[in-house]
Amino acid sequence: MNKHFTSSIAFVLFAVLTASPSLRAGGIVPLGSLDLSKIKQGWGAPKIDKSVMDGPLTIGGKTFACGVGTHAESRLYIKLDGGSSRFTAKIGVDDNRKDFPASVEFRVYADGRMLYKSGPMKPGDEAKAVDVDLRGAKNMLLFVGSAGNGVDHDHADWADAQFTVAGAKPQAVAPPAEVLILTPQPSPQPRINSPAVYGCRPGNPFIYRIPTSGKRPMTFAADNLPAGLNLDAKNGIITGVNPPRGEYVVTFRAANDLGSCEKKFKIVSGDRLALTPPMGWNDWYGYFDGVTDRLMREAADKLVESGLADAGYQYVGIDDCWMNAPADSQHVKDPLRRGPLRDADGNIMPNKHFPDMKALTDYIHAHGLKAAIYTSPGPMTCAGYGGSYQHEERDARQFADWGFDLLKYDWCHYSKIAKSETDLDELKKPYILMGNILKKQKRDIVFNICQYGMGNVWEWGAEVGGHSWRTSGDLIHEPERFIDIAIKNAAIAKYNGPGGWNDPDFFLHMGIKEEPGLFTPNEQYTLVSLWSLLAVPLVYGDGLHKIDDFLLSVLCNSEVIEIDQDPLGKCARTVLLGEEAVLFVKDMEDGSKAVGLCNRGEMEIEIAAKWSDLGLAGKQRVRDLWRQKDLGEFSDSFTAKVGRHGTFLIRLWPVK
Ligand code: GAL
């Protein structure tokens, strides 16, 4: 047969096979022929027959002619409609990452069940063979996740990947839409959202805005307010001087034309601050090195206007970049942010975007809110601005004089001063120094230790004067790990409690206004549910212009915040139910339990919370906290369907 003739036959056969559905039976459909624009992946774009870097597909020294190169986290949802009988592939990390610390896991799901899991794979590992039976399956997910060390360098290959097709052709589809839980809007009737307890130090300035949702105008009253404190009845802001050492039970009252309410608030004047986890806003993930006095003032306005302050968000925090960077800084481009680090007397110099720090905190305090500031124990901050090294005493006094109420103290360039980053004494040293200095200030300054968890900081954070301590790196670098981070925080539950809190970092990139965000709606509910169950600081750390109704409903659900702010201050423990379902169980002061039924998996599953796992017995009244709805009484378990990375959050009270 001549060559021309053979290729013509091949062409005709190809044309017939692709045109006629009936003739497709038993055909092979390569993964690369699907619409790969539907793949969502952590970096770059999916490549047909190539690695994500555009090179050949090579795994463990072997090159493959066809397949798909992607990057973790990678998800491709495929509609099968019962048409495919088999999926096969050779998988692994692409050899182009040979000298990098990549580590991935491949998974194949069909109709909600995990059919294949590779286990961790590293560069250089020989390709593993995937061969799954898809008969009858309606839909499928090809997933590549990080195997525990973040997604950096995770170049993943689905080589020789193909479907054996007997009916409908597989079709790449968009990820399934997530149902938005419509949390009820806060009622127009007054509701006081303050925690039940508040710590302060005798004789220091007192500033507190009674967080209250409901229609304005509203009038406020407070029974048994200790002498020295004054309430503005129109806006609910209390100012004055912290009372002498002791406990004072005040009753707050709020009323508008639709109703009234009251709530007890115990002021504990003594040595301890932050008796419930601090709540607030911080600029870092929203503005980075673009923060200005104007943006901080706008944030204070926005916190009040949006209702965040009414829900309990209190601290308005400036992060890095408010001070000068060295005049010759190569890396800070904005000339208004460069200049002398200190004045002739050694005082730290704010940069030109912050003309008057005292006026700024006055502005924040006039809203009844508190002001937070940032520096580093090192000579420089993380972003290369002036730090506090060898000026600790002077800077702390300055922060107090300016009127700041919280200090975030970020290790960073202290690494150049410390003799070691593993020696406990070296790790503690700068925090002991600043912790002691802060206690001497004539202002209550909450101390946030930020050194990413080194030396198990949770074991000694409170002892060095910290009120909270970051337990991990920045969430922006590992958003895909947030459920694992929560599980890790639950494992150190015993170090968490009134006056000293674990801190798994700020909330960021939320809402549904800007697509694609870092977190899907399910993940946003999970983030706030888990942080509340863990009883850790709730700080929204992104631009306030990104706020939308959805985000407000996620951040401001008073029944969820109540879980976080419970005066017992207990962190949830976890119950792992197999690979995907995990329960977070938190004891509440009133004897009830808050429980998160969390799905770490990639597809919707059913999760059962059994009383035996929760430490409960007998009938329980169950309430759905996101929907703020009673679900009835249950005898020995509660079961719910939970979507990918979602959390069903309930509270259970024993039925008497
Ligand atoms: C990081 C810190 C972030 C942010 C940043 C500022 O070290 O973890 O939260 O403060 O520095 O440069």
Helices first, then strands: H and E counts in the chain: 12, 39
Instruction: Give the whole-angstrom CA distance, residue 166 versus residue 181.
Output: 39
Question: Would strands 219-223 and 113-117 be described as parallel, antiparallel, or unpaired?
Answer: unpaired
d(CA 3, ligand 1 centre) in Å: 66
Q: Name the closest-CA residue to atom 3, ligand 1.
A: 474
| CATH of segment(s) 315-470 | 3.20.20.70
What angle separates helix 482-491 from helix 521-534, to the nearest 10 degrees?
10
Task: Note the pLDDT of residue 15.
Answer: 42
Please give the share of the chain, as a percent, with pLDDT higher than 90.
88
- Is a pLDDT exceeding 60 seen at residue 280? yes
CA distances from 294 to 216, 282, 403, 490 (A): 26, 14, 17, 38
For 446-461, the DSSP string reads EEEEESTTGGGGGGTT
Q: If you average pLDDT over residues 365-387, what whole number do you get?
A: 98
Residue 521 sits at φ, ψ, to 5 deg, of -55, -45
Q: Which residues pair with 279 in a beta bridge?
A: 538
Q: Which two tokens stand for residue 125?
A: 């590992």
Residue 99 sits at φ, ψ, to 5 deg, of -100, 25
Token match 């200790």: residue? 226
Q: If you average pLDDT over residues 411-435, what whole number do you get?
A: 97
Q: How many CB atoms lie within 10 A of CB 339?
A: 17
Q: Name the closest-CA residue to atom 8, ligand 1.
A: 474
Instruction: Give the whole-angstrom CA distance, residue 150 versus residue 300.
Output: 35
Task: List the single range of 17-21, 439-443, 642-646 with lowest mean pLDDT.
Answer: 17-21
Best mutation site among 289, 320, 406, 409 for ligand 1, i.e. most ligand atoms within 8 A of its Cβ? 320
CA distances from 419 to 389, 393, 424 (A): 15, 22, 11
CATH 2.60.40.10 in the chain, residue ranges: 191-269
**Three-class DSSP category at 269:** strand
Q: What is the pTM of this model?
A: 0.90
Instruction: Give the whole-angstrom CA distance, residue 75 versus residue 173.
Output: 11
Task: Note the pLDDT of residue 20.
Answer: 41
b/e map of 225-259 (b: 16 or more CB within 10 Å)? bbeebebeeebbbbbbbbbeeeebebebbbbbeee
Pocket of ligand 1 (CB under 6 A): 284, 319-320, 381-383, 410, 412, 450, 474
Q: If you average pLDDT over residues 600-625, what whole number do you get?
A: 96
Task: List the single range of 177-181, 421-425, 633-637 with lowest mean pLDDT.
Answer: 177-181
**Three-class DSSP category at 24:** helix
**Ranges assigned E (strand) in 270-349:** 279-282, 315-317
Task: Note the pLDDT of residue 26.
Answer: 63
**Three-class DSSP category at 500:** strand
Which of 439, 459, 444 shows the shortest CA–CA distance to 275?
444
- Is a pLDDT exceeding 50 seen at residue 428? yes
Q: Name the closest-CA residue to atom 11, ligand 1.
A: 382
Torsion, Cα 154 155 160 165, to 10 degrees, reads 60
Best mutation site among 284, 374, 478 for ligand 1, i.e. most ligand atoms within 8 A of its Cβ? 284
pLDDT band at 75; cut points 50, 70, 90? very high
**Catalytic machinery residues:** 410, 474
Residue 442 sits at φ, ψ, to 5 deg, of -90, 45
Task: Note the pLDDT of residue 149.
Answer: 79
Tens of pLDDT along 445-487?
A: 999 999 999 999 999 999 999 999 999 999 999 888 999 999 9
What is the average pLDDT score of the chain? Answer: 94
Q: If you average pLDDT over residues 506-528, what whole number do you get?
A: 87
Task: Note the pLDDT of residue 22.
Answer: 38
Instruction: Give the whole-angstrom CA distance, residue 290 versus residue 354.
Output: 11
Task: Note the pLDDT of residue 371.
Answer: 99
Q: Which ligand 1 atom sits closest to the C-alpha of 374?
A: 10
- Is a pLDDT exceeding 80 seen at residue 515? no
Question: Which helix or strand (DSSP H or E) is residue 533 part of?
Answer: helix 521-534
Tens of pLDDT along 312-342?
A: 999 999 999 999 999 999 999 999 999 999 9
The answer regarding whether domain 24-173 maps to CATH 2.60.120.1060 reads: yes
Q: How many CB atoms lie within 10 A of CB 568?
A: 15
Task: Note the pLDDT of residue 13.
Answer: 43
323 with 386: CB under 8 angstroms? Answer: yes
| Architecture of the domain spanning 191-269 | Sandwich (2.60)
Which of 293, 276, 204, 274 shows the shortest CA–CA distance to 240?
204
Q: Which ligand 1 atom sits closest to the C-alpha of 473?
A: 8
Residue 347 sits at φ, ψ, to 5 deg, of -75, 140
Q: How many CA atoms lie within 13 A of 119 on its CB side?
A: 4
d(CA 498, ligand 1 centre) in Å: 25
CATH 2.60.40.1180 in the chain, residue ranges: 573-654
d(CA 93, ligand 1 centre) in Å: 31
d(CA 413, ligand 1 centre) in Å: 11
Tens of pLDDT along 381-401?
A: 999 999 999 999 999 999 999
Instruction: Give the whole-angstrom CA distance, residue 315 versus residue 444.
Output: 13
Task: List the single range of 388-392, 461-465, 508-512, 643-647 with lowest mean pLDDT.
Answer: 508-512
Q: Name the closest-CA residue to atom 5, ligand 1.
A: 382
Residue 354 sits at φ, ψ, to 5 deg, of -125, 80
d(CA 317, ligand 1 centre) in Å: 13
Q: How far apart are the first and last CA of the chain?
A: 89
Task: Note the pLDDT of residue 224.
Answer: 98
Q: How many CA atoms lie within 13 A of 278 on its CB side?
A: 34
- What's the burial of 573, exposed, middle or buried (CB within 10 Å: 0-12/13-18/19+)? middle
Question: Would strands 370-375 and 315-317 be described as parallel, antiparallel, or unpaired?
Answer: parallel
Token match 């932050």: residue? 274
| Architecture of the domain spanning 573-654 | Sandwich (2.60)
For 123-191, the DSSP string reads TTPPPEEEEEE-TT--EEEEEEEE-SS-STT-EEEEEEEEEEESSSPPEEEPPPPPPPP-PPPPPSS-E
Q: Which ligand 1 atom sits closest to the C-alpha of 506?
A: 9
Instruction: Give the whole-angstrom CA distance, residue 405 versus residue 427.
Output: 24
CATH 3.20.20.70 in the chain, residue ranges: 315-470
Q: Which ligand 1 atom sits closest to the C-alpha of 410?
A: 7
Q: How many CB atoms lie within 10 A of CB 54?
A: 11
Task: Note the pLDDT of residue 545.
Answer: 87
Q: If you average pLDDT over residues 369-378, what whole number do you get?
A: 98
Which of 526, 467, 444, 85 shows the shortest CA–CA distance to 269?
444
Please give the share of the chain, as a percent, with pLDDT higher than 70.
96
Instruction: Give the whole-angstrom CA distance, residue 286 versus residue 72.
Output: 25
**Ranges assigned E (strand) in 387-467:** 406-410, 446-450
Q: Which ligand 1 atom sits closest to the C-alpha of 452?
A: 8
Q: Which ligand 1 atom sits closest to the C-alpha of 541?
A: 9
- List Cβ neighbours of 79 (8 Å cut-off, separation of 6 or more): 138, 139, 170, 171, 172, 173
Radius of gyration of the CA atoms of the chain, in A: 28
d(CA 286, ligand 1 centre) in Å: 12
Token match 């697509």: residue? 515
CA angle in degrees (0–180, nearest 5) for 307-281-533: 85
d(CA 504, ligand 1 centre) in Å: 13
d(CA 148, ligand 1 centre) in Å: 22
Q: How many CB atoms lie within 10 A of CB 583?
A: 21
Question: Would strands 279-282 and 538-540 be described as parallel, antiparallel, or unpaired?
Answer: parallel
Best mutation site among 474, 475, 507, 508 for ligand 1, i.e. most ligand atoms within 8 A of its Cβ? 474
Best mutation site among 373, 375, 376, 412 for ligand 1, i.e. most ligand atoms within 8 A of its Cβ? 412
Provide the residue count of the chain.
656
Instruction: Give the whole-angstrom CA distance, residue 342 versus residue 561.
Output: 41
